[in-house]
Structure 1
Amino acid sequence: MPGNNGDDLTRLRIALTVFFALDGFVFAGWVVRIPAIKHQTGASASALGLALLGVSAGAVITMMLTGRLCRRYGSHRVTVVCGILLSLSVALPPLTHSAVALGAVLLIFGAAYGGINVAFNSAAVDLVRALQRPIMPSFHAAFSLGGMIGAGAGGLVAGALSPTQHLFGLTVIGLLVTAVAGRALLRLRPPVPPESSAREKTAPRRLDTRTRGIVITFGLIALCTAYGEGALADWSALHLEQDLDATPGAAAVGYSCFALAMTVGRLTGTRLLERLGRTRTLVTGGAIAAAGMLLGALAPSLWAAILGFVITGLGLANLFPVAVERAGTLAGPEGVAIASTLGYGGMLLGPPAIGFMADWFSLPTALTSVAALAATAAVIGLVTRRAGER
């Protein structure tokens, strides 16, 4: 294909995969040290909760700006800059000694996290269009694997290293990885779609009213998916322990199985998309996740509930990557930014929404909202099939 070298595309795919994995690794490393930093700052639970909103606020504010920066300077450059900022800013939280200071530095960390997510997803969308293969889930699988490694490594070193030492170590690792992968990324020009793709008019559109509406619809699929991820991360263990009398260890297994199922689902996502196509993958995945979450929320036994979580993870695995890719294919980096912002909003909305509904009704009933939104994602995927499969 004119303008694209097969070896360059392979190198680009490797470099982007490394950045996705690094993002998951660094973020998970920070998450496992939150309890220690809470103790260090002396923050109450409510003060810590407000401080942690700094990550969310920084990410959401920056995501929309990053779409425009990618359009102007290129997603490769923005990815590298945000990789440096992410690596540097993760060392800041253990240097704080109050909830206010922690919230301020988490704004910076969240801005870098949101920025790099938009930038490397935009670069990945360009690569998907050039290769004409649905490889987006493989990048998100790298993020999931990086997160699992980061969390596991963080747990292992937590007893030996202080938060300052651990997170400074993440800074060093992040800067080294960014230097190597970033050098490769900056040498590679963004790929151009093949001539056949250009004839089919798959080039990103400008964000007019109609296009923005379709992109927002794809973003709602991302929101429905991320709502489930956030809800299960915060509430699955409590559900198993409180409602099914599981031990704390067995309760922790539930979310681990969900996360592992999502990773496996994303690793096999490209093959699944090649066989089913994007619309059927969205519809089938949403339906499977809805059924799995009904089982997970309402099952009368521990292992049946865990099986439900596994089914939910497999169903949700590829919804977010496909939604972001479809938004990016339609509207470029700004489309990725809109879909990512809505998706991140869903992850923020999930845990508190489940908490309120659990107070009003019960936790099992509240968790069925995950099934309802997964089914909603399936319906949206069906309704938008023509917009996504041009």
Structure 2
Amino acid sequence: MAPGEPGADPGLRRLRVALTAFFALDGLLFAGWVVRIPAIKHQTGASASDLGLALLGVSAGGVATMTLTGGLCRRFGGRRVTVASAVLLSLGIALPPLTRSALALGLVLLVFGAAYGAINVAMNSVAVDLIATLRRPVMPAFHAAFSLGGMVGAGLGGLVAGELSPTRHLLLLAACGLLVTALAARPLLAYDLVAGGPGADGGGRAPADAVDRTAGSGGARPRRTGALVAVLGLVALCTAYGEGALADWSALHLTEDLDAGAGLAAAGYSVFAFAMTVGRLSGTWVLRRAGEQRVLVVGGAMAAIGMLVGSLAPSVWVALAGFVVTGLGLANIFPIAIGRAGALAGPGGVATASTLGYGGMLLGPVAIGFLAEWFSLSVALTTVALLAGAAAVIAYVTRDAI
């Protein structure tokens, strides 16, 4: 890399590494929680619908916080909000195994969900600023770190499922989260993306070129921008629904529908997260060659086919293969949607698209719970394929606009 290029700045490189660490931590903590859901479900004595209601705590906390986080990022800076949210998320993950009822579980998941919602909007806002500075499409790499963290968290969860209680496991993850936050906070806060150099003010506003794209007031352009951001948020919602559903219900699907053991059941989310990681690590290369629009359409179609296989499979191994195809298909759709929304409307665009997108991730498990109660878990999971296909259709129909 040439000395004059933005990526050659050591402070900027350290900021990118630190931001990557926060994305990975987010995935690690979220996966650590979801692989212990079967044990916590048993501990609380919750039915499928009771668990779905309890998981609504994550959804409610997350969606409510996401609607506010764009404003918090503009006022305090996305980097400061990222650090504060990481602390709350690390503390929040230790709470679910301390509960003994579905109601108590739902209440503590409000805290976890609030932190999860805030950190995801804040991290993505900082990532959009960084992409504008680097002038390179590196958003998939950050989401690859999230997926890698999820894969590691799910894998470790499967390994320790028979050795550690949920309480000890999640307490260890909480300590790990606080340690990573302490180490990554300083380089994240030390570089001011607005000024293009060192600064300890913690600012996280969008660079001038990003802000200029949404300049102006009134008229058709702001309305058109708002409509495009909403469409991108809808695409993100359709695909994030599947990620949330697989995170919370894949283990139960493999154990209850296909008689898998606890360790093998944990592999369900692990192989899905691995496929997501592979897809996102290659995302920048794929985007440069295939283009964003083709990745959106083909990825949605792949995910739809893979999830039909995964949800209706007659054996564990066929289901796992379906999860892999689903992960590869979904891998880059969400990063593309959030990145485009941020480029169009800055932190507000990220907040709007993220609220819709992560709302799908958080509300999906709740919907799956009720559908599983009314029909079956296998049938409920086919809705993931339905929405992934819808995302592909939306992306194709609006190809000239977004």
TM-score by length of 1: 0.84
Amino acid at match of 2:364: G
Shift of 1:136: 0.9
Q: CA deviation at 1:7?
A: 2.2
CA distance in 1, matches of 2:101, 2:292: 47
Aligned to 2:186: 183
Pair 1:132-2:119 in alignment: no
Q: 1:369 to 1:102 in 2, by over 3 A?
A: closer
Report what 1:23 is aligned to.
26
Alpha carbons 2:79, 2:189 under 8 Å: kept: yes
Map of 1:44 onto structure 2: 46
Distance 1:341 1:70 in 2: 14
Question: Displacement of 1:307 after TM fit?
Answer: 3.5
Please give the root-mean-square deviation of Cα atoms over the aligned residues, in Å.
3.5
| Structure 1 residue aligned with 2:274 | 260
Q: Secondary structure at the match of 2:192?
A: coil
In the alignment, which residue of structure 2 is the partner of 1:77? Answer: 80
The 1-side partners of 2:62 and 2:215 are apart by 24
Is 1:3–1:192's contact at 8 Å kept on the other side of the alignment? no
Task: Quote the residue 1:346 is aligned against.
Answer: 360
For residues 133-148 of structure 1, the aligned pairs below 5 Å read 133-148=136-151
| Matching of residues 277-292 of structure 1 within 5 Å | 277-292=291-306
Q: Which runs of 5+ in 1 are unaligned?
A: none
Q: Which residue of 1 aligns with 2:338?
A: 324
Q: Is the 8 A contact 2:11 2:187 kept in 1?
A: no
Distance 2:318 2:173 in 1: 38
The residue aligned with 1:219 is 233
Relative to structure 1, the CA distance from residue 354 to residue 155 in structure 2 (aligned partners, 3 Å threshold; closer, same or farther) is closer
Residue matched to 2:64 = 61
Residue 384 to residue 73, structure 1, CA distance change in 2 (3 Å): farther
Residues 263 and 104 of structure 1, relative CA distance in 2, 3 Å threshold: same
Counterpart CA distance in 2 for 1:234 and 1:254 is 10
Once the two structures are TM-superposed, the CA of residue 99 in structure 1 deviates from its matched residue by: 4.0
Between the aligned partners of 1:21 and 1:363, the Cα distance in structure 2 is 29
Identity %: 66
| C-alpha separation in 2, matches of 1:173 and 1:354 | 31
Separation of aligned partners in 1, 2:98 and 2:266:
30
Specify which of 335, 350, 372 is matched with residue 336 of structure 1: 350
Q: Does residue 173 of structure 1 match 2:187?
A: no
Alpha-carbon contact 1:204-1:329 (below 8 Å) kept: no
Query: Does the aligned pair in 2 maintain the 1:51–1:100 contact within 8 Å?
Result: yes
> 2:93 and 2:317 mapped to 1: Cα distance?
37
2:68 is paired with a residue of what secondary structure? helix
Question: 2:152 maps to what in 1?
Answer: 149
Contact 2:158 2:264 in 1 (8 A): no
CA 30–298 in structure 1, closer or farther in 2 if over 3 Å, else same: closer
Residues 180 and 298 from structure 1, CA distance in 2 versus in 1: closer, same or farther, beyond 3 angstroms? closer
